[in-house]
Structure formats: structure tokens, C-alpha cells
Amino acid sequence: MFSIPALAQDGRIGMAEDKQINFQPPATEVMEQIIDLHVIIMWIITAIIILITGLMFWIVFRYNRRANPTPSKNTHHTGLEVIWTVIPIVILVYLGYHSIKLLYKQDVIPPADMVIKVTGHQWYWTYEYPDHNGLTFDAYMVPEEYSRGVASADVTSEWDAIMEELRITLGREAPIKTMRLLDTDTRMVVPVNTTVKVLVTADDVIHAWTIPAFGSKIDAV
């Protein structure tokens, strides 16, 4: 159980882009801090990789048999041992502190203005609005074959049946924007400037419900 602020989405916030390899633009303060922490960690591990790789090449070329025919007899070096012990500890404590602080912030749940119950099924989601006369609807993923216009007769027939049922339920046509493996026939709708508590559960296997731009993800069990 967690809560998320329902924000007005501007531009491409909350939308995946073709060939995207980075995070979506953040829509919450938590997601901004997740990205900031990710950047810090990336700089740290990049520096570590460069340092270790450089040391390995230096050792290989500086202390091979040809360059160093008389090997060193040193068995330890107190200064080096202190350095390679203290520095990793400092890095881990620093990252651990910021990670725990961010995890705690994600668990702070403000008073909710409305509640939505989300149930995971194989393979669709059910959304229920208990505060609005128990309004319930299912969200099915748009089949990849259908979105590419190469669906078989069986897939097309099944999908058309789903859309017809949805049309009857909504009393209008349900527009479909075909974004491969991300679009659904219906979407969870929330008001802006409202704190929404989302209760996530599953009807069968374990699922995962997430809003990447919000930095929110929870397993449905």
C-alpha cells in the first residue's frame, strides 16, 4: 500500500520513447532524488572501474618478467591496506545513508483524498474505485500483432470483442494509441492535485504495478 500525488502530466512526462535507455522525466520529488542518487552512483562506479582497470594495466606492463626480472619480496603495506579498507567503507556508508533516507521517504504516506484498488491478473489489471460507487473496469494490453496491423484472425476477433464490451460499458468508442507492449484499452484516471492511495493486490501469480515517472513500484501478491 502506498500513495502517489496525481499530477497533471505535461509534454512527454510519464511516456516511454522509442529507443529510450534512460529514465523518464521525473514527475515527483522522490523520482528526482532517485535519478540524483543514480547519477552519483554511476560516477562512483565509473571512477572505480577506471581506477581498477588502470592499476591492472599498470601492473601487467610495469611488473612483468621482462620489465621487472627481480620480483618484489614485499608481503604487505600498512598504508595501502588502510586506504583500500577505509575508502570502500566510506563509499558504502555514504551510499547506504542516502539510500535508506530515500527508502524512508518513499514509505511516508500522506492522508489520501481517494482510494483506488488495483488487482493483477494473468494478464490484465482490474481497477476499482471504492469511493465512487465501486466503479470497476479491466485494462488489457493492446496485442503487439494488433498494433502492427498483422494480427491473426483469432487475435483480431478476440481484441474486437474486448473493445466492443468496452464500448458498451463506456457508451462510446475507446480510442487506442498503439505504443508497443505499453498501451492498454483503458487507463487508470485520477484527478489532478489529489493524493491517491493505491491498494495493490493479485488474483493469481505475483505481478508488479509501477509508474516509472513517479518512482513508484510495488509487487502485487
| C-alpha cell of residue 152 | 491473426
* % of the chain with per-residue pLDDT over 90: 33
Assess whether pLDDT exceeds 50 at residue 150: no
Bridging pattern class, strands 135-140 and 194-202? unpaired
DSSP SS3 for 138: strand
Residue 5: its pLDDT value, please?
47
Go through the domains of the chain in sequence order and give each one's CATH number: 29-107 (1.10.287.90), 114-220 (2.60.40.420)
Cβ neighbour number for residue 23 with a 10 Å cutoff: 14
pLDDT band at 175 (very low <50, low <70, confident <90, very high): low
b or e along 55-78 (b: 16 or more beta carbons within 10 Å of the residue's beta carbon)?
eeeeeeeeeeeeeeeeeeeeeeee
**pLDDT at 120 exceeding the cut of 70:** yes
Average predicted confidence (pLDDT) for the chain:
80
Distance of CA 53 to the CA centre of its chain: 31
Most confident of 19-28, 129-138, 177-186: 129-138
* CA–CA distance, 164 with 172 (Å, rounded to integer): 10
Residue 155 banded pLDDT, cuts 50, 70, 90: very low
* pLDDT for 7: 46
Mean pLDDT across 187-194: 84
User: Is 196 a residue whose pLDDT tops 70?
Assistant: yes
Asked if residues 158 and 142 have their Cβ atoms less than 8 Å apart, the reply is no
d(CA 172, CA 93): 56
Four-point Cα dihedral 182, 115, 117, 162, nearest 10: -50
pLDDT-based confidence at residue 153 (cuts at 50, 70, 90): very low
Residue type, 179: M
Could you tell me which of 57, 130, 51, 62 has the C-alpha nearest to residue 91?
Answer: 51
**CA dist., res. 58 & res. 52, Å (int):** 10
Residue 11 has pLDDT above 70, yes or no: no
How many Cβ atoms sit within 10 Å of the Cβ of residue 42? 10
Which residues lie across from 198 on neighbouring strands? 2, 116
- Give residue 1's pLDDT band: very low, low, confident or very high (50, 70, 90): very low
Q: What is the largest CA-CA distance in the chain?
A: 87
Residue 159 has pLDDT above 50, yes or no: yes
Between CA 159 and CA 162 the distance in angstroms is 5
pLDDT over threshold 50, residue 114: yes
Higher-confidence residue: 50 or 185? 50
User: Distance between CA atoms of 44 and 40, rounded to whole angstroms?
Assistant: 6
